Structure 1
């Protein structure tokens, strides 16, 4: 589903770096709809996610990443959760 003219974005936690658990309680495998579930996502992760989401929403690509996706980490030094942002195609 597309809200207005911006494509929908799904965030998925794909991994973690570090020995501690996420301070917000996130775990590998969680998925979020960026527009409707933003309040469930750690603010530190959202701060890191925004530039990538902006790039994807406006048709940009990131070097070395498949079109329509961006992988990034949150900024927590104790445990960096790895996120994948992806544009959701209308047929999904």
Structure 2
């Protein structure tokens, strides 16, 4: 996951900045709990080979943090091992 945009009027309360990258499984303590909670359904769908509706690129999806003051936009990209 990568933070690709910030659209709110405030800085992230958890300290995230554009360009920050996270491994959903390995960085659980580093990623804001609100973003983690929002990302989970998308990660789960992609992890098991599904495709998220309205995603133009298979294995990639953007989503927003639920904090209306900050509106961090994250992108999830599936990395094959």
Same fold (TM over 0.5): yes
- Count residues in correspondence: 80
Larger CA Rg, structure 1 vs 2 = 1
Using the size of structure 2 for normalisation, the TM-score is 0.92
CA RMSD of aligned residues (A): 0.9
C-alpha displacement at 1:64, in angstroms?
A: 3.2
2-side partners of 1:87 and 1:38: how far apart? 17
Instruction: Return 5+ residue gaps in structure 1 as ranges.
Output: 1-10
1:46: how far off? 0.5
Task: Choose which of 18, 21, 38 in structure 1 pairs with 2:11.
Answer: 21
Cα distance in structure 2, aligned partners of 1:57 and 1:14: 21
| Deviation (angstroms), 1:86 | 1.2
Aligned to 1:87: 78
1:77, distance to aligned residue in structure 2 (A) = 1.1
Q: Which runs of 4+ in 1 moved over 3 A?
A: none
Structure having the larger proportion of residues in strand: 1
- Consecutive unaligned residues of structure 2, counting only runs of 5 or more, are none
Residue 5 of structure 1 is matched in structure 2 by none
